[in-house]
Structure 1
């Protein structure tokens, strides 16, 4: 598996991964409201890293570098459990200054466990009653 900076030519594949992964994992959300265009809105101005194997993108992470913040980390559903997320997370941490932060939707227990297994700590739970999330830190 190769980790590299995303190119503009990757965006069609990244849009599909973002859509498929969210529809597969976010059971609490309305899947019909999710679109390919969400990717562009939700990653605007961010530094993107992709995981690739055999010319196929397996996942990506988008970073907001000024705040040392991981905004998105998504792995194609077919590639889950293969270490893609951990490698992307490690590359993201290496790119930024510590402490690094992220937000994880409270309802996403699988993601929460993933981050905790990779050394992240819960700091504070925030958000509205319908959209709770944890701010997490890696020091």
Structure 2
């Protein structure tokens, strides 16, 4: 197993595996319910099986683990894009997201991310981490009325 830690972090990183998918989806749902207040219950129920059965398989998947080896966050990267980054609400603001993002930038060479405009906390997190908005789309990739901000890492980061 590939492990990585960052100074002063209580979290470790490992490559996500198929056996982790159910736990990852639990983290995804908890995170979405805490941060994506603009989504309807129908939206969450629509996306949940897609996350489990399609989206996790389509990315280079990494998980953040707490000292008890429980998954507290995850990141999916593909072709330089951060496709997903979700942290369990109990672990937000404690370094797991920064650890995952640092890994994505420095090890996976990811430099772009699309963020729901209505998820202001995520937009703020990415801005704090050196990303800037380069474009805005009125609708998400499925044509739903959830504006997307296309962000890119500033060249000096």
Asked if TM exceeds 0.5, the reply is: yes
Q: How far off is 1:19 after superposition? A: 1.2
Task: Provide the rounded CA distance (Å) in 1 between the counterparts of 2:148 and 2:19.
Answer: 32
Q: What secondary structure is seen at the aligned counterpart in 2 of 1:23? A: helix
Paired residues in the alignment total 136
Distance 2:137 2:84 in 1: 18
Q: Give the whole-Å Cα distance in 1 for the aligned partners of 2:76 and 2:146.
A: 21
Deviations 1:19-74 (A, max 9, x none): 1111221111102442341322333321100100221111000111xx21000000
Please, what is the CA RMSD of the aligned residues?
1.6
- 2:32 pairs, out of 22, 29, 32, with 22
Structure 2 unpaired stretches of 5+: 1-10
- Check conservation: 1:122, 1:134, Cα contact below 8 A: yes
Name stretches of at least 5 consecutive residues in structure 1 with no aligned partner: none
Q: Does 1:106 align with 2:117?
A: yes
Contact conserved, 1:23 with 1:31, CA < 8 A, in 2? no
Q: Which runs of 4+ in 1 moved over 4 A?
A: none
1:112 Cα deviation after fit: 0.4
Aligned counterpart for 2:61 among listed residues 20, 38, 48 = 48
1:1-139 aligned within 5 A: 1-35=11-45, 36-40=48-52, 41-53=54-66, 54-64=68-78, 67-97=79-109, 100-128=111-139, 130-138=145-153, 139=155
TM-score, length-scaled by structure 1: 0.89
Moved more, 107-116 or 15-24: 15-24
Normalized per residue, which structure has more strand?
1
TM-score, with normalisation over the residues of structure 2? 0.80
Helix, strand or coil for the counterpart of 2:34? helix
